[in-house]
Amino acid sequence: MEDFIRHLPKVELHLHIEGSLEPELMFKLAERNGISLPYANVEEARAAYHFHNLQSFLDIYYQGANVLITERDFFDLTWAYLMRCKADNVMHTEIFFDPQTHTERGIAFDTAINGIYHALRQGEKELGITSKLIMCFLRHLSEDAAFETLEQAKPHLHRLVGVGLDSSEVGHPPEKFARVFAEARALGLKAVAHAGEEGPASNIWDAMRLLHVNRIDHGVQCVQDPELVQELARTRMPLTVCPLSNTKLCVFDKMEDHNILSLLDEGLCVTVNSDDPAFFGGYMNDNFLALNTALSPSKEQLTQLSRNAIEAAFLNEDERKLLIQNLDDFWAKHGIH
């Protein structure tokens, strides 16, 4: 089964590029940019990647982002992630970036998006990995700050497929950003939002009804509301679930408690993703392997998780058909028990 998982064609829809900053690259960029880190070495930095809740994770996440200064830094960060995708047989990825994390500390919006975008294009050309880029608003900041970020993004709309909403969910409900999401959709952008991770099922309803999202990021707290579970199944509203993240942040005490397979069996469009892999213990293969160890999914279930991700991706029909064909070819070769 491990061999099956490692070779299974995959699509990732929930990845924060800043959250793929490994300690080794952090030290390399800090040295390049003359930045002092509060760690003596890579091992000490990796030890600091242990935390007890979402907020303590976010604190170190934003601290690590301080080493990202130049366009080259953002390129190198993105390229390192794409090499992980290549190793894990990720065919297509739709990544988040947090411009406010950088503009708040004086780094130009253009610097961040240029470095990320150029790496993604090179990844398609040299690695055969297709990609889309989603700009997230930080929900702990103000609505005005989100509108300012959307204004900064307007010269780059051709590079963006959508907007998202991340950072601290508790205390920052979806309605806070209803107006800026409406403007983003009017500009032709798709919409996604983190909801139902550490927050209640009502945040998922609000993300759908007030933000009119195309996907829910996380969404595992939907089980608090049976009516919501039925609605998610009926509409095939995608949930971009992040198993290792959920256990690392104690959404579930252990992987054996995770509800992704029960949601899959109820007909929900759940997908597997790595979220912030440098901090949460692994990339796509690691997440699939962790599910395999804890929940013993069938090959059919694992393949359906990939098929769901293709269904949920922001692709045109020709792009989607190509990925489905790759998955079908894999199943024809490896799916027989």
- Identify any residues that bridge with 193 across adjacent strands, giving them in sequence order: 216
Please tell me the total number of residues recorded for the chain in this structure.
337
Binding site residues for Zn(2+), as ranges? 14, 16, 194, 275
Averaged pLDDT for residues 114-137: 98
48: confidence class by pLDDT, cuts 50, 70, 90: confident
For 7-28, what is each residue's pLDDT tens digit? Answer: 999 999 999 999 999 999 999 9
**DSSP code of residue 239:** E
For 50-96, what is each residue's pLDDT tens digit? Answer: 776 777 777 788 778 999 999 999 999 999 999 999 999 999 999 99
215: confidence class by pLDDT, cuts 50, 70, 90: very high
Cα 165 to Cα 169, 280, 301, 307, distances in angstroms: 9, 20, 29, 25
**More confident of the two residues 44 and 52:** 44
Mean pLDDT across the chain, nearest whole number? Answer: 95
C-alpha–C-alpha distance, residues 76 and 98, integer Å: 16
pLDDT given for residue 336 in this prediction: 66
**Could you tell me how far CA 254 lies from the centroid of its own chain?**
21
Percent of the chain with pLDDT over 70: 99
Are 245 and 277 contacting, i.e. CB atoms less than 8 angstroms apart? no
pLDDT given for residue 268 in this prediction: 98
Binding site residues, as ranges? 14, 16, 194, 275-276
pLDDT given for residue 72 in this prediction: 98
Averaged pLDDT for residues 20-44: 92
Q: How many domains does the chain have?
A: 1
Q: What is the CATH number of the domain that holds 47?
A: 3.20.20.140
Binding site residues for substrate, as ranges? 276
Query: Which range of residues forms the domain containing residue 235?
Result: 2-334
Are 293 and 256 contacting, i.e. CB atoms less than 8 angstroms apart? no
Q: What is the pTM of this model?
A: 0.96
b/e burial code for range 131-169 (CB count within 10 A of at least 16 → b): bbbbbbbbbbbeeebbbbbbebbeebeebbbbbbbbbeb
Averaged pLDDT for residues 230-254: 96
pLDDT given for residue 148 in this prediction: 98
**Residue 14 φ/ψ, nearest 5 degrees:** -145, 90
Averaged pLDDT for residues 218-243: 98
For 162-213, what is each residue's pLDDT tens digit? Answer: 999 998 888 889 999 999 999 999 999 999 999 999 899 999 999 999 999 9
For 273-307, what is each residue's pLDDT tens digit? Answer: 999 999 998 999 999 999 999 999 999 999 999 99
In this structure, the number of other CB atoms found within 10 A of the CB of residue 170 comes to 14
pLDDT given for residue 312 in this prediction: 98
Catalytic site residues? 197
